[in-house]
Chains A and B, each alone.
Chain A
Amino acid sequence: GNSVTQMEGPVTLSEEAFLTINCTYTATGYPSLFWYVQYPGEGLQLLLKATKADDKGSNKGFEATYRKETTSFHLEKGSVQVSDSAVYFCALSFSNTGKLIFGQGTTLQVKP
């Protein structure tokens, strides 16, 4: 079946460090891929997306590239801030169903 696997957290970084959160997927066909973020006490927000192979999604300094050959969609940011502390979810969906399949989430804590 279709599934998403994320690196386990929590991830603890110092401010201005480089961030990578790994995400790989298993899917029949060609899904769209997403990163959602959940800040403390807030709801899920779409951070970025990519709908086809080699697409790069980007937002707020975060980037992720849809790699079909490695079935991956790793999240990166060059310099994290304390305000980036949150839980990050990788997800996939297919256009015909729309339902999101989520990874287990990765907690990021950035210390000043």
Chain B
Amino acid sequence: GAGVSQSPSNKVTEKGKDVELRCDPISGHTALYWYRQSLGQGLEFLIYFQGNSAPDKSGLPSDRFSAERTGGSVSTLTIQRTQQEDSAVYLCASSSGGSVEQYFGPGTRLTVT
């Protein structure tokens, strides 16, 4: 079956603009995660959705970052008023209920100029 997909694969934006990054998890997976991979900070957890529970937003670096998950499937990560330090690869992962294994998408490379 299809794996986790993300779009766009690359995004270049100007400082101060808003961006939306999309993640389509594996069908049937109830848990969805966003991570960020950057040279300076390595791989960092951002946010976690599990079913209908309130999301764990403990990793979001500032209030410019938000995410939603509609219908328990597709998720959108929004970054408002982008800054150069937001440049990174944004990774999405999903897992099935009760499993510790997460399956990652190919990522979206965000460049803020």
A and B associate? yes
Q: Which residues of A contact B (CB under 8 A)?
A: 32, 34, 36, 42-46, 49, 51, 89, 91, 93, 95, 97-105
- Which chain A positions have C-beta within 8 A of B50? 98
- Complex partner residue of A100 from B33, B56, B107, CB under 8 angstroms: B33
Tell me, in angstroms, the Cα distance from A101 to B35 when the chains sit together.
10
Q: Known contacts being A43-B91, A44-B91, is A99 close to B45, with CB within 8 Å?
A: yes
Tell me, in angstroms, the Cα distance from A34 to B93 when the chains sit together.
15
Q: How large is the interface on B (under 10, 10 to 19, 20 to 34, 35 or more residues)?
A: 20 to 34
**Across the two chains, which residue of chain B brings its CB closest to A93?**
B100
Q: Is the CB of B42 within 8 A of A105?
A: yes
B75 at the interface (CB under 8 A from A): no
Tell me, in angstroms, the Cα distance from A93 to B56 when the chains sit together.
14
Q: Known contacts being A97-B56, A98-B33, A98-B95, is A44 close to B104, with CB within 8 Å?
A: yes
Beyond the given pairs A97-B48, A100-B45, 6 more chain A to chain B contacts, judged by CB atoms under 8 angstroms and listed by A's residue number, are A42-B106, A43-B91, A49-B101, A89-B43, A97-B56, A99-B48
